[in-house]
Amino acid sequence: MNRGHLAATDETPAAAGEITYLGAIAAALRDALRDDERVFLLGEDIGGFGGAFGVTKGLLEEFGEHRVLDTPISEEGFVGAAIGAAWMGERPVVELQFADFVTTPFDQIVTVAAKTHWRSGQSIPLVIRMPSGGGVRGGPFHAGSPEGWFVGQPGLKVVCPASVEDAYGLTRAAIDDPDPVLVFEHKALYRRLKGPPPPPGHRTPIGRARIVREGADATVVTYGSGVAITIGAVERLGVDVEVVDLRTVWPLDREAVLRSIAKTSRVLVVQEAARSTGAAGLVLSLVAQEAFEHLDAPPALHAPPDTPVPFAPELEDAYMPSVGTTADALERLLAY
Amino acid sequence: MPIEPCIDLGAVGPGERRALYRLVLLQRLFEERALALYRQGRLAGSFYDGRGQEAVAAGAGLALHADDVVCPLNRELATHFAKGVTVAEAFRNFLGRGDSPTRGRDGNMHFGVPARGVFPLVSMLGDLVPVTVGAALAFKRRGEARVALTFIGEGAFSVGDTHEGLNLAGVWQVPAVFVIQRNQFSYSTPVAQQMVNPTIAERLAGGWSIHCETIDGTDAIATYDAVRTAVERARAGHGPQAVEAVTLRIHGHAAHDNGSYVPRQLRDSYADRDPVERLAMRLELDGASEDELAGLRSAVAVEVAAGLAVAEASPGPDPTTIEDGVWAAPVGLFPRKD
């Protein structure tokens, strides 16, 4: 398998007093390792090498090999082992090198981790961190947004941080959580997104969306990389649009979505996952069932076509939602 | 054909022999009663039993300490009982009662009792090998003298998760014990169609440097002794251990399957090796009186009957509770409960 050679996301370093999205995740892991002896990290090349993207750099030296475990290349094996350790009350945090590789431990996640509490009352406090998303010329196996496979799976929680604050806060909240939590980090945001460091101990509540920007004329429901793109589109158009960052895509914060649509009467869903996967189907089903009477326009969706993520720059750029294409979609919705 | 008694190992004393006898008989009588209920249409779903494999389940179960943990499969009821799961709890699960270990959410052998160190079985073979290794990893990390054990059949030995789990156990040198249930068939598929080299002990030793003793899995005394040795070696820090228990699955894969594909010659070769009768014969040769054996048998029969009565009197599950417990900490409910 072709792994770990994608360094194309490096941008200018964070300014003084700022940290990157990646730095926020690293800080969350470091703080969790310091605060709770039960926390340990496991994954491929996360020790001395610091992980394919460098998220865990320095943690082996700081905490030792009993807290930061390099594993063989066997996602089914070490995700299963993390489940077993969680059963025994540990707080394992797994790193998969790319979210695309979640296909291999899928069975452990869905069969064992997700169903054990409902079947037996045994909680499985497991975290799986996964770099997802495109824009890095990763192609079909290194740029996917597979969160939709887990949206709707009872027993799992699925979060997609879109800000520096939530990169820290959702990681901490996931590690605290007694249920299995899948964290889809966005690899293109790792070094691109910067902000003030969240206060140590900050938690972003799982299951709660965030209103990124208030507005009156339409609602955009989005998450992950869609948040910055949507804000860019709204600013470019200069329109009065509310932007809802789901943060947790499963279980959905239904109330936040419905409250915003009740106010604006128009909704666009923006996501990087292909149009028939991701969180869009669940959001649009909710809108159809619960917000029908509020709508002044058909609910709209802006998402890539139903194909794997293509490699060539011309293809990937055409595939991914951008500020421009999102602005177009928003204009159509507002003009209806 | 005269019954071949269990081996007379001095290391397994009279008390342990009686404890083993109670366990093999408990699984036998429970499963006979449950199969009768199934045939009467009183058990929903499918029915699996471990006839012919009771000695492996009992021997492995008795070898574990109270704070050891285990991931049994669906032919290891005696392992549950050895860990303190009650007959009533098991029958409740078979009957789908509301107070069963799965609250009626799963049936037959698809259950565990985490409070007693028993993980709930999943149907996907091999999944619980890495889970067992992870539990053992937790013990090693914390410096606890505890052991995690699971079972692997020939079918599961063809599954990727099994091999990834065995590899991790070796790399991490954790206190995990793998008991290979060599019952000759994976559903209807014979060993020859599952693997090129059927000597699993050789493969474990050669592939993963995991020491593996091969024993007669119809002999409860031999199985117990071998698994106990493996468990104690793991507990003492010698890394993962394995025992290959060779036996024959006497019934089909499940109650709908009459096992007609099992060659007569193979079946006949096990006619004198019924695990329950072999141990009874050993106890007789040890000098146990007919009265004592009859007393042991009737105590087990009473335990089964009493447990079933309790389970039958248990309430059915309440359909309004079906969404409870999907998450340990539910969030995002609509309308919000908070």
Tens digits of per-residue pLDDT, A68-117? 999 999 999 999 999 999 999 999 999 999 999 999 999 999 999 999 99
Instruction: Return the closest-CA partner of residue A240 out of A255, A219, A254, A257.
Output: A219
Residues of A in contact with B112 (CB under 8 A): 120, 122
Strands of A142-217 (E only): list them.
157-159, 181-186, 194-195, 210-213
Q: At B186, is the secondary structure helix, strand, or coil? A: strand
| Mean pLDDT of the residues in chain A | 95
Count of A-B CB contacts under 8 Å: 156
**In sequence order, what are the residues at sequence separation of 6 or more whose Cβ sits closer than 8 angstroms to the Cβ of residue B193?**
none
Residue type, B197: N
Say which of A66, A142, A294, A302 is annotated catalytic. Answer: A142
Residue of A nearest to B159 (CA): A76
CATH number at residue A82: 3.40.50.970
Residues of B in contact with A177 (CB under 8 A): 329
Checking if the pLDDT of A5 tops 60, the result is no
By Cβ distance, the residue of A87, A115, A179 closest to B119 is: A87
A3: confidence class by pLDDT, cuts 50, 70, 90: very low
Tell me how close the Cα of B136 comes to any Cα of chain A, in angstroms. Answer: 8
Q: Does B67 touch chain A (CB under 8 A)?
A: no
Interface test with B, best of A63, A120, A179, A257 (most B CBs within 10 A): A120
Q: For chain A, what is the radius of gyration of the CA atoms?
A: 19
> What's the CA gap between B247 and B203, in Å, rounded?
19
A298 CB burial (10 A radius; 0-12, 13-18, 19+): exposed
Same domain? For A255 and A186 the reply is: no
CB contact under 8 A, B168 and A81: yes
In the sheet with A218-222, reading across from the earlier edge strand, the strands are: A210-213, A241-245, A218-222, A267-270, A300-302
CB contact under 8 A, A84 and B134: yes
CATH number at residue A295: 3.40.50.920
Tell me how close the Cα of A208 comes to any Cα of chain B, in angstroms. Answer: 7
User: Is A7 inside any structural domain?
Assistant: no
Of chain A, the percentage scoring pLDDT greater than 70 comes to 96
Tens digits of per-residue pLDDT, A115-156? 999 999 999 999 999 999 999 999 999 999 999 999 999 999
The pLDDT score that the predictor gives to residue A6 is 41
Number of independent structural domains in chain A? 2
Q: For chain B, what is the radius of gyration of the CA atoms?
A: 20
Same domain? For A36 and A174 the reply is: yes
The pLDDT score that the predictor gives to residue B338 is 42
Beta partners for residue A183, in sequence order:
A129, A159
- The structure tokens 């939530």 sit at A166
Residue of A nearest to B107 (CA): A119
A137 CB burial (10 A radius; 0-12, 13-18, 19+): middle
Give the mean pLDDT of A181-208.
96
The pLDDT score that the predictor gives to residue A189 is 97
Same domain? For A170 and A223 the reply is: no
Interface test with B, best of A37, A76, A223 (most B CBs within 10 A): A76
Interface test with A, best of B110, B152, B164, B333 (most A CBs within 10 A): B164
Tell me how close the Cα of B323 comes to any Cα of chain A, in angstroms. Answer: 9
Residues of A in contact with B333 (CB under 8 A): 251
By Cβ distance, the residue of B111, B134, B168 closest to A83 is: B134
**pTM tops 0.90:** yes
> What's the CA gap between B32 and A135, in Å, rounded?
62
Q: Does the interface predicted TM-score (ipTM) exceed 0.90?
A: yes
Same domain? For A246 and A180 the reply is: no
Same domain? For A228 and A163 the reply is: no
Residue of A nearest to B142 (CA): A38
**Is there a catalytic annotation at residue A142?**
yes
Same domain? For A180 and A298 the reply is: no
Same domain? For A96 and A223 the reply is: no
User: Is A105 inside any structural domain?
Assistant: yes
> What's the CA gap between A305 and A321, in Å, rounded?
10
Residue of A nearest to B114 (CA): A122
A14: confidence class by pLDDT, cuts 50, 70, 90: confident
Tell me how close the Cα of B85 comes to any Cα of chain A, in angstroms. Answer: 14
Alpha helix stretches (DSSP H) within B258-337 = 264-269, 275-286, 290-313
**Residue after which a domain boundary falls, among A195, A218, A234:** A195
CB contact under 8 A, A253 and B137: no
Same domain? For A59 and A116 the reply is: yes
> What's the CA gap between A130 and A145, in Å, rounded?
10
Phi and psi (nearest 5°) for A325?
-70, -30
Residues of B in contact with A69 (CB under 8 A): 172
Q: At B131, is the secondary structure helix, strand, or coil? A: helix
The three state secondary structure string of A56-99 is CCCHHHHHCCCCEEECCCCHHHHHHHHHHHHHCCCEEEEECCCH
Checking if the pLDDT of A8 tops 50, the result is no
Tell me how close the Cα of B262 comes to any Cα of chain A, in angstroms. Answer: 31
A13: confidence class by pLDDT, cuts 50, 70, 90: low
Residue of A nearest to B325 (CA): A118
Q: Does B119 touch chain A (CB under 8 A)?
A: yes
**Residue after which a domain boundary falls, among A162, A195, A228:** A195
Same domain? For A47 and A175 the reply is: yes
Checking if the pLDDT of A2 tops 90, the result is no
Tell me which residues of chain B have a pLDDT lower than 50. Answer: 334-338
Q: Which domain holds residue A261?
A: 210-335
Tens digits of per-residue pLDDT, A213-250? 999 999 999 999 999 999 999 999 999 999 999 999 99
DSSP B143: T
Instruction: Return the closest-CA partner of residue A70 out of B168, B234, B176.
Output: B168
Q: Does B161 touch chain A (CB under 8 A)?
A: yes
Distances, alpha carbon B84 to alpha carbons A327, B68, B211, B305, in Å: 64, 12, 29, 17
By Cβ distance, the residue of A81, A86, A252 closest to B133 is: A81
Strands of B124-166 (E only): list them.
148-153
Instruction: Return the closest-CA partner of residue A73 out of B95, B223, B163.
Output: B163
User: Is A8 inside any structural domain?
Assistant: no
User: Is A3 inside any structural domain?
Assistant: no
**Residue after which a domain boundary falls, among A195, A218, A250:** A195
Same domain? For A268 and A175 the reply is: no
Same domain? For A224 and A161 the reply is: no
Interface test with A, best of B69, B110, B137 (most A CBs within 10 A): B137
Distances, alpha carbon B42 to alpha carbons B39, B102, B264, B316, in Å: 7, 18, 32, 13
Q: Which domains does chain B have, with CATH numbers?
A: 14-321 (3.40.50.970)
**In sequence order, what are the residues at sequence separation of 6 or more whose Cβ sits closer than 8 angstroms to the Cβ of residue A318?**
none
User: Is A10 inside any structural domain?
Assistant: no
Residues of A in contact with B120 (CB under 8 A): 116, 119-120, 122
Residues of A in contact with B132 (CB under 8 A): 84
Distances, alpha carbon A237 to alpha carbons A206, A230, B203, in Å: 32, 11, 66
Same domain? For A113 and A167 the reply is: yes
CB contact under 8 A, A112 and B331: no
Q: Does B106 touch chain A (CB under 8 A)?
A: yes
Residues of B in contact with A81 (CB under 8 A): 130-131, 133-134, 137, 165, 168
The pLDDT score that the predictor gives to residue A9 is 43
By Cβ distance, the residue of A80, A120, A206 closest to B331 is: A206
User: Are B20 and B74 spatial neighbours (Cβ–Cβ below 8 Å)?
Assistant: no
Q: Does B132 touch chain A (CB under 8 A)?
A: yes
